């Protein structure tokens, strides 16, 4: 187990409301980049017209997509933003955007649920997201054993 104190001062909290038709991952990532968010946690509720979930296959080192091609209710969206590893060829002024890692549980009309890693989705009618920014930033580093970008506390 590892830990790192992220805040000893007041954190900043934002309400981010996505509109019908917005693509969730693209919209949240763009918002975070535009607002200088380098580390944050988020929660959300709302709805999707369609959503693609993912389940990580450790043998293939990739997410298997789980498309849900119907209206769903977002029962729980949780996740975080962290900065990715700098690319070896990146220049200091390159646009390095924060990485969104989120999981979601969506409800279907019959009360059943689907859940997984959030790969993408079209918002409808709205998605209400609360983002709490940390004054320190987190960084993700590629882990060759899993193929994932994991939070590095060093």
**φ, ψ for residue 104, nearest 5 deg:** -145, 145
Concatenate the DSSP letters of all residues of 61-103 into one string.
TEEEEEEE-S-EEEEEEEEEEEBPPPPTT--TTS-PPPEEEEE
Q: Which of 12-26, 63-77, 128-142 has the lowest mean pLDDT?
A: 128-142
Structure-model confidence comparison of residues 137 and 80, the more confident one:
80
pLDDT of residue 5: 77
The answer to whether the pTM exceeds 0.75 is: yes
Window from 8-17, 58-67, 72-81, 88-97 with minimum mean pLDDT: 88-97
Give the whole-angstrom CA distance, residue 57 versus residue 75.
24
pLDDT tens-digit series, residues 104-124: 999 999 999 999 999 999 999
37 Cβ neighbours under 8 A, 6+ residues apart:
31, 81, 98, 131, 133
130, 44 contact by CB (below 8 A): yes
Per-residue pLDDT tens for 47-87? 999 999 999 999 999 999 999 999 999 999 999 999 987 64
Computed over every residue of the chain, the mean pLDDT equals 90
> Which is more confident, 150 or 46?
46
Cis peptide before 125 (omega within 30 of 0): yes
Domains of the chain as residue ranges with CATH: 12-84+98-152 (3.30.1330.80)
Q: List the beta bridge partners of residue 124.
A: none
């Amino acid at each position: 187990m590892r830990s790192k104190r992220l805040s000893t001062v007041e954190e900043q909290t934002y309400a981010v409301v996505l509109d019908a038709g917005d693509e969730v991952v693209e919209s949240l990532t763009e918002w975070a980049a535009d607002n200088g968010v380098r580390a944050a946690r988020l929660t959300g509720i709302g709805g999707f017209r369609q959503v693609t979930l993912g389940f990580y296959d450790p043998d293939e080192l990739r997410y298997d997509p789980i498309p849900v091609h119907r209206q769903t209710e977002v029962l729980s969206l949780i996740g975080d933003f962290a900065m990715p590893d700098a690319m070896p060829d990146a220049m200091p002024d390159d646009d390095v955007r924060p990485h969104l890692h989120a999981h979601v549980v969506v409800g279907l009309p019959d009360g059943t649920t689907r859940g997984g890693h959030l790969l993408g989705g079209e918002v409808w009618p709205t998605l209400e997201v609360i983002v709490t920014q940390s004054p320190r930033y987190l960084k993700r580093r590629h882990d060759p054993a899993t193929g994932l970008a994991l939070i590095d506390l060093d």
